[in-house]
C-alpha cells in the first residue's frame, strides 16, 4: 500500500519537475528586457520568475530523489531473489543425480531364443 502511494507521488513529482523545467527561461532570455520589450514585468515581481521557479525546482528535485531512494529501498526489501553471489550460486547449483543400484540388476537382459 505504501509502495503504491510513494510510486504515485514519484510520478506526480516527475511530471511536475519536467513541466517546471520547461517553463523556465534560458540565460539569453533576459537580453530582451534590456531593450525595453517588457519581458521583465512578470507576475512574479520585478526580479522575475527566476527565484520562485528555481526554489520550486530545487524542492521538486529533492522530493524526486527522496522518492527514488525510497522506491529503491522497497525494491530491495521485497525481492525474493538471492541477495549475494554465494546465495545465487547455491540456488542455481544442479541437483545431485538420483541414487542408482550398481550391479547385474541394472543390466538389461536379452530374451533367450532356442535356435
Q: Which residues contact 70 (CB under 8 A, 6 or more apart)?
A: 6
- Residue 106's SS3 state is coil
Where are the domains positioned within the chain? 2-25+44-83
Mean per-residue pLDDT, 95-110: 65
What confidence tier does 44 reach under pLDDT thresholds 50, 70, 90? Answer: low
Task: Report yes or no: 60 and 12 within 8 Å, Cβ to Cβ.
Answer: no
Mean per-residue pLDDT, 22-42: 63
Distance CA 45, CA 103 (A): 97
Count of residues making up the chain: 115
Distance CA 81, CA 3 (A): 19
Q: Which residues contact 86 (CB under 8 A, 6 or more apart)?
A: none
Give the pLDDT confidence of 53-91 residue by residue, as tens digits: 889 999 999 999 999 999 999 888 866 666 677 777 777
pTM of the model: 0.53
Amino acid at each position: 500500500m505504501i509502495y503504491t502511494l510513494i510510486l504515485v507521488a514519484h510520478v506526480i513529482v516527475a511530471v511536475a519537475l519536467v513541466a517546471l523545467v520547461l517553463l523556465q527561461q534560458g540565460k539569453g532570455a533576459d537580453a530582451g528586457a534590456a531593450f525595453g520589450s517588457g519581458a521583465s514585468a512578470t507576475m512574479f515581481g520585478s526580479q522575475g520568475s527566476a527565484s520562485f521557479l528555481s526554489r520550486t525546482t530545487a524542492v521538486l528535485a529533492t522530493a524526486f530523489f527522496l522518492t527514488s531512494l525510497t522506491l529503491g529501498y522497497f525494491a530491495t526489501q521485497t525481492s525474493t531473489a538471492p541477495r549475494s553471489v554465494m546465495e545465487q550460486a547455491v540456488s542455481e547449483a544442479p541437483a545431485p543425480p538420483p541414487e542408482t543400484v550398481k550391479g547385474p540388476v541394472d543390466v538389461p537382459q536379452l530374451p533367450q531364443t532356442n535356435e
